[in-house]
Amino acid sequence: MKSSFRLLAAALALSVFAAQASASSMDELEALAKSDPQDYGRIYDKDLASDTAGTHPAMTEAQLKQMMLSDLDSVKSMIQARYAPAGWKKDQYGWDLDAEITKAKAEIMASPDFGVKDYQALLKRLLNSMKDYHVSVSFYSTEMAYLPLTVTMAGGHYFISGINRKALPENVFPFKVGDELTSFDGKPVAQAVAELEKQAGMADVPDTDAALAAMFLTFRAGASGTPVPQGPVALGIRPAGAAEPAVYQMKWLYTPEYIAPQPYVTRGAPGLKIPMSWLGMMMVQEDAAPGSDQAAYGLGDKDGFLPDFGERTWTAPAGNSFRAYVYKSPATGRNIAFVRIPTYAVSDPEKSAKDFAALVPELEQRSDALIIDETDNPGGIVLYLYALASMLTDRPLAVPQHYITLTQSDVAEAIKFIQQTASAKTDADAQKLLGPDVAGYPVDYELLKNWTGFYLSTIKQWNAGKTVTDLLPVFGIASLKPAPVHYSKPILLLTNQLDFSGGDFFPAIMQDNKRAATFGERTAGAGGVVKEYARDNNLLGVQSIHLTATIAQRAGGEPIENLGVVPDVPYKVTTADVQGGYAGYIKAADAAVNALIK
């Protein structure tokens, strides 16, 4: 019973991605690379790639096209049933599902030779038309390529943010984190980024789109439907302080496609389960292995890209899940606490919530105000987010409510939950059923009662003929009570364009309740609960599709989707910040947090 409810909570998570590749997959590829870091070559297992001919007769072109048209009809039905922001997208962008499906079908029929890879690219474009960071498709594919570098953007320029020194030792690659990338594959880097944005499909948030494309200059995967390069690539790199760039040539570290795309192939290697969205793939690159120069720009990185704000007077114990400390403000001498919340998609939310709770009394006692760094946060589990927020307030916090898509499966799930929890009457009963907490959020009878009420509401609305609910609080939690141990002093919350999903919701909650001032750049605007829908029972290589199953509304009535959270104190990262230790950023944020102290 406990495990099933924990899985249910995870299924309703606010997350930018629902599956994540093992970071070890890239390590395995590196281990296969040739010892000379300038000669990566192709990694190809001939035994694995051979003997892929199928035993069934090949389809005709007409039969293959009919399969694609039928699959599009199935995708259309799924979107109609499960995509909550459809009306919002029509109002904002004129998006129309019928028109997009008709256009896709016409493209299939107009081509004399439309293959499986063509269909995958078409399906990706169809989903991209929804302009939604949560919406994505994954394919069965082993093809991918990467360069042992990561890139970040600031002030319209692009900079090296990470170097794998195992593959690129300094005597071979004499460049450093912070050096500017001026050209890529013979093109100005801004042009290469713009082309990559167009290929990948974005959500029409310029700063977020450009930042994502910059991060993916050096990583491509067939599983996301992105064209995968191979062979040499020339990079123009200008070292910090230099007048002119130098040209450096390397090769893509390339893994070929082991899964032949023809629908009649019946044997072959299973595909690597690479994450299905750009945001998921980013998690592969963000892990900084030993021997790497890494400025911690990856989504969900524990430390983040900001150095210390000042001289530390207290530091969180070793082993705590969070980077946290108290520093003496250089400007005022006040004691300011700092804690980084890198992600809400933690592997052990119960432990992380306990670690956060252990920090709060120290921060409350030792500081005059608190800076929370939530930059580059990819989202995660909503109840874990709620648990952290409840420890940062001395008064109730209202949370966004959702319009939620419904199908018979949701109603069956609701009925089962109500039946299995009907006997509970006390806190102890609730904890026996659900455990002491769910994803770090404390369990008591009130939570169970609210959760049951939420499910009763969904059943009633379904019975009234609604396939999208009226506004409802997810899990029945309309507001967050202050936790027994909580922080009560002023808070400055740092945000940026790479905060997604839960990374949008947390600042929305703090801003709407006037609990914190937000500082930095607006968040991405991934404004609902994302769910994964398996599509692996087809011959077109489609593994799964992710759709936004709810659309959330803030206290003021506006959605988070596409709009994000606009900071109270705007600040754009500059070239000087990236190359100069973020001195300007830190000075401005320190001044902003001091201004909150009465």
Cα–Cα distance for residue pair 592/257, rounded to 1 Å: 51
Beginning with the edge strand found earlier in the chain, give each strand of the sheet holding 491-495 in spatial order.
Answer: 311-315, 324-328, 335-340, 369-373, 491-495, 517-520, 569-570
What is the greatest pairwise CA distance in the chain? Answer: 78
Stretch 192-203: mean pLDDT, rounded? 79
CA 394-395-399 angle, 5° bins: 125
Pairing of strands 219-221, 144-146: antiparallel
What pLDDT is stored for residue 24 in this prediction?
37
> What's the alpha-carbon Rg for the chain, to the nearest Å?
25
What pLDDT is stored for residue 512 in this prediction?
98
484-520: per-residue pLDDT in tens?
A: 999 999 999 999 999 999 999 999 999 999 999 999 9
What pLDDT is stored for residue 44 in this prediction?
37
Backbone φ and ψ of 14, nearest 5°:
-85, 105
What pLDDT is stored for residue 196 in this prediction?
86
Straight-line distance from the first to the last Cα atom of the chain, in angstroms, rounded to the nearest whole number: 49
Evaluate if residue 477 carries a pLDDT over 50. Answer: yes
**Positions of E strands within 310-449:** 311-315, 324-328, 335-340, 369-373, 379-380, 397-398, 401-404, 437-438, 441-442
DSSP-derived letter for residue 11 is: H
What pLDDT is stored for residue 198 in this prediction?
79
% residues pLDDT > 70 (the chain): 84
Stretch 370-399: mean pLDDT, rounded? 97
What pLDDT is stored for residue 259 in this prediction?
87
How many Cβ atoms are within 10 Å of 36's Cβ, its own excluded?
Answer: 10
Extract the tokens encoding 436.
């002491």
Cα–Cα distance for residue pair 585/571, rounded to 1 Å: 8
What pLDDT is stored for residue 6 in this prediction?
33
Least reliable range by pLDDT among 30-39, 181-190, 330-339, 449-458: 30-39
Evaluate if residue 125 carries a pLDDT over 70. Answer: yes
Q: What is the pTM of this model?
A: 0.86
* CA torsion angle 564 566 570 574 (round to 10): 10
17-53: per-residue pLDDT in tens?
A: 332 333 334 444 444 443 333 333 333 344 444 444 4
What pLDDT is stored for residue 60 in this prediction?
87
Extract the tokens encoding 311.
């001289």
Average pLDDT, the chain: 86
What pLDDT is stored for residue 89 in this prediction?
96
What pLDDT is stored for residue 13 in this prediction?
37
What pLDDT is stored for residue 83 in this prediction?
97
Evaluate if residue 476 carries a pLDDT over 50. Answer: yes
Cα–Cα distance for residue pair 84/44, rounded to 1 Å: 43
Extract the tokens encoding 294.
């890494």
Stretch 383-412: mean pLDDT, rounded? 97
pLDDT band of 92, cuts 50, 70, 90: very high
Distances in Å between the Cα of 147 and the Cα atoms of 39, 115, 224, 296 are 12, 29, 17, 17
Tokens 């039905």 belong to 77
pLDDT band of 296, cuts 50, 70, 90: low
- The answer to whether 23 touches 280, Cβ cutoff 8 Å, is no
Cα–Cα distance for residue pair 112/99, rounded to 1 Å: 22
Stretch 349-361: mean pLDDT, rounded? 97
Stretch 529-542: mean pLDDT, rounded? 92
Stretch 64-69: mean pLDDT, rounded? 95
- The answer to whether 163 touches 292, Cβ cutoff 8 Å, is yes
What DSSP assignment string belongs to 555-595?
TTS-BSTTT----SEE----HHHHHTTTHHHHHHHHHHHHH
